[in-house]
Every structure is written in structure tokens, then in C-alpha cells.
Amino acid sequence: MTDIQYAPKTGSGADVAAGVAQYFTPVLHELVALAVNGKQAHWHVRGVNFIAVHELLDQVVDHAQAWADEVAERVVALGLPIDGRLETVATKSGAVNPKLGFQSYEDTIADVVAQIDLATEKVNAAIEGLAELDPTSQDVVIGIRAGLDKDRWFLAAHVAVK
């Protein structure tokens, strides 16, 4: 058996890994919450814009799941575990438990946009905190921020007055 270090040796000292995990863990929790609650919203949306919102919510969920995976894999690649279990997410996420049952598309969009905004707050903190600590990890969250902005825009456009 060869003795190969699990974590990469360059740019990933213990302090860097711990710092990345500190910023990425809240991002992971909000993205997992967005994915789970977005799917709940997808099943229960009603109204004249049903099909467009229903299908768009599937995209939001897919994006949140992919970004959560990218965030978790970055921390693990740096040699640390990360806790994305639903029980942990339920206690650590700031997301409000979505209403049970059917909702108008306007209320559904408002709820999902609020969750996107919460995830964006955590992403913004990570962007700021990782600027000098680990630019590679910062690039990951910058990309996620751009995607969250786009998903928010697509949803909000359904209810925008102007």
C-alpha cells in the first residue's frame, strides 16, 4: 500500500481547509434547504402561470443540488468532512419551513425567492471571507452567486409589475 496524502498538498493547509469549511458549511445548508423546499413548492404551485413556474422550480432545484455537491466536494477535496444531513440542515439553515399544501404561484415565488436571498447572503459572506484565504474556493462561490442571481431573476420576472 502506498502512502498518499488524501488532501492536495498545494494551497490546502489545515488552516485553509478549516477556513473554507467555515464559509462553505452555511452555504451548503442553505443550498440543501433551497433544493428540498424548492421541490416542495414545485409540487404545490397553482395558478395561471403554473406550468412555467412548476418547470422553473425544477431548474432551481437542480441548480441548488449541483451547487451543494460542488461546495461539499470542495471541502472534502481539502481533506475535511462536511455535514449536509437533513437533520443538520433543518437545525442550521435559516430557511423558513414552507407552508404545507397548495399555494398560488405568487406566494410560491415569494417563498422561493426569500430562500434564494438567504442562500445569497451566505454566498456573499463566503465570497468576502475567501478572497485572501483561498481564491480557488472563492471562484466556486462567485459562480454560485451568478447562478442564484439568474434563478432569482427568472422567478421574480413572473410577478414583476414593471
pLDDT in tens, 128-148: 999 999 999 999 999 999 999
pLDDT beyond 60 at 7:
no
Closest CA to 38 of 121, 120, 104, 95: 95
CATH number at residue 129: 1.20.1260.10
pLDDT tens column, 58-115: 999 999 999 999 999 999 999 999 999 999 999 999 987 778 899 999 999 999 999 9
Q: Does a structural domain hold residue 1?
A: no
Q: Does a structural domain hold residue 95?
A: yes
What are the backbone dihedrals phi and psi of residue 97, each rounded to the nearest 5 degrees, phi first?
-60, 125
- Domain span at residue 18? 14-156
Q: What percent of the chain has pLDDT over 90?
A: 82
| Full-model pTM | 0.91
Q: How many domains does the chain have?
A: 1
Q: Does a structural domain hold residue 124?
A: yes
> For residues 147 and 67, is the Cβ–Cβ distance under 8 A?
yes
Q: Does a structural domain hold residue 7?
A: no
pLDDT tens column, 11-59: 558 889 999 999 999 999 999 999 999 999 999 999 988 999 999 999 9
Work out the mean pLDDT of the chain and round it to a whole number: 92
Q: Does a structural domain hold residue 162?
A: no
Q: Does a structural domain hold residue 121?
A: yes
**Cell output for 117:** 436571498
| Strand intervals (E) in the chain | 45-46, 103-104
Residues linked to residue 45 through DSSP beta bridges, in sequence order: 103
Q: Does a structural domain hold residue 4?
A: no
Question: How many CA atoms, within 13 angstroms, populate the side-chain half-sphere of residue 65?
Answer: 11
Assign 116 a pLDDT band (cuts: 50, 70, 90).
very high
pLDDT beyond 70 at 3:
no
Q: Does a structural domain hold residue 104?
A: yes
